[in-house]
Structure 1
Amino acid sequence: MFRNQYDTDVTTWSPAGRLFQVEYAMEAVKQGSACVGLRSRTHAVLAAANKAASELSSHQRKVFRVADHAGVALAGLTADGRVLSRFLRSECINHAFVYDAPLPVSRLALRLADKAQVCTQRSWKRPYGVGLLVAGLDESGAHLYYNCPSGNYFEYQAFAIGSRSQAAKTFLERRFEGYNDYTPDQLIKDALSAIKETLQGEKLTSSNCTVAIVGRKDDGTVEPFEMIDAKRIQEIIDSMEATEEAPASAAEAESSSMQEDKGTDAGTGTDAAPMDI
């Protein structure tokens, strides 16, 4: 990906009007482990695939709590993600101290985008090589934002980033129209299903994924941002697998019964009448 003299400085534009170091940072996001976010009217869910660097090492955290009403999931350089998550945590604390109210999620995403954008216009800095999914809850409901290393940010109903995220996006695109009315458990199941699409045949278990949720209950009380424990995740995965196996076993039983019926008909049938010539 070497671009000659046009990628030695983040402020050097190529003749085609591109900043290659920013594009390299966006490529780092594509190489990171997959993360998925989706939301309904009242809840937002973040899920991430836990991918260890080697068999002898543990995985790095990909989901971070920012405040009681917000959290982030990241793909790319985890070290950059930890720095940005601490920045977001500090912003939420300062806003709560001054205004005695939680920082709106849209403003949280904007401040993160502004911090990332500064690194695209200073020659002594480099862009953050991490993309973040920001999920949270405020007075207007649940929100999900994607923040790009370029400083752009977008709000989504559901989104996926990281390696092999296109498979998860395809899954989410088929189902996102009904997410507004989903229950928290349905959102978690779809998040796990989307993560499963990115594993390329690897079995989904509670040890290779992380799920977090934030939302508002029916009585108006807020459910703080929290990680779902591994036991509950495994129970949900087991129920999903049982649901998938039930139609398959029913189809096998039906096909076997049809074959038996065909065999019986063949044994008791009469010879066909000769054709008149």
Structure 2
Amino acid sequence: MMPARGYDMTPTMYSPDGRIYQVEYAIETVKRGTLAVGVKSKDGVVMAVEEIPRKLQVSGITQKIFQVDDHIGIAAAGYIPDARVQVDDARTFSQSHKLIYDEEVEVETVAKHLADRCHQYTQYSGVRPFGVALIISGVDQRGNLIYVTDPSGTFVSYSAVAIGAGADDVNSFLEKNYKDDMSLDDASALAIAAIELKSETKEEKSIKMSRITKDNRTLQKVNDSDLEKYSKAAKEKFPKPN
């Protein structure tokens, strides 16, 4: 990255070559976070993250996967305190929508709301952009959906995607191995294979996973025994490239 030369003091200032350095710094923060992966299947959506707990940390509590509504979950990469603020915003927005319209909020509507909020933080002095990217996954009347928001306020729909450190290589891996008609179990195995591609520990114990099926439309945590099963399937079905 070229020297900012004072143009990085506020997100409201463009550099002479048309860049907003504060936003670029926030995106760089995302790239330094541990991996988060989202994979869509014909039966639902899967979110998986890598979490490396300290020795005495209670490992059963997931720090990077959040429930927004029964049918919507979020996985984060980057500065996680910023993710908590956005998740709280998404929960309030989702519940307000249900009270006003008497129906569950669509996944895209939540993604757009959070992206709009990210964009607001690039337009005012005295604030900084959110240093986190989010994978917003869910099942609604439109089907199984995955969106990604980033600090610039962009939101894009994906069939499979990775964010965080090494995301470029992992996304290339997903492009080669993803299929539109994947079962939920195969999507879970692919998500683990994608994380293990760049994992620091190479252990399934460092992976946390949740998923939402189109049958019950409820976010459910995947237990350790199932994670072990999917890890074995990942090694068989999705070998790492040489």
Distance 2:233 2:177 in 1: 19
- Report the counterpart of residue 167 of structure 1 in structure 2: 169
2:127 is aligned with 1:129:
no
State the 1:80 CA deviation.
0.2
State the 1:125 CA deviation.
1.2
Task: Name which of 88, 91, 94 aligns with 1:89.
Answer: 91
- The unaligned stretches of length 5 or more in structure 2 are 238-242
Greater relative contact order (CA < 8 Å, ≥ 6 in sequence): 2
Figure out how many residues of one structure are paired with residues of the other and give that number. 234
- Residue identity in the other structure for 1:100: D
Distance 2:229 2:177 in 1: 23
Counterparts of residues 100-249 of structure 1 (less than 5 Å):
100-176=102-178, 178=179, 180-199=180-199, 202-205=201-204, 207-217=205-215, 222-241=216-235, 243=236
State the 1:99 CA deviation.
1.3
- Residue identity in the other structure for 2:206: N
SS in 1 for 2:73: strand
Indicate if the aligned counterparts of 2:34 and 2:49 stay in contact, CA closer than 8 A: yes
Indicate if the aligned counterparts of 1:39 and 1:45 stay in contact, CA closer than 8 A: yes
Indicate if the aligned counterparts of 2:162 and 2:171 stay in contact, CA closer than 8 A: yes
Indicate if the aligned counterparts of 1:41 and 1:141 stay in contact, CA closer than 8 A: no
Indicate if the aligned counterparts of 1:65 and 1:226 stay in contact, CA closer than 8 A: no
Task: Name which of 71, 75, 78 aligns with 2:77.
Answer: 75
Deviations 1:253-273 (A, max 9, x none): xxxxxxxxxxxxxxxxxxxxx
SS in 2 for 1:102: coil
TM-score, structure 2 as length reference: 0.91
Deviations 1:228-269 (A, max 9, x none): 11222123224545x47xxxxxxxxxxxxxxxxxxxxxxxxx
Deviations 1:105-126 (A, max 9, x none): 1111110111000000000211
Distance 1:119 1:229 in 2: 37
Indicate if the aligned counterparts of 2:190 and 2:234 stay in contact, CA closer than 8 A: no
Distance 2:122 2:146 in 1: 24
TM-score, structure 1 as length reference: 0.80
Q: Which has the higher helix share?
A: 1
- Report the counterpart of residue 3 of structure 1 in structure 2: 4
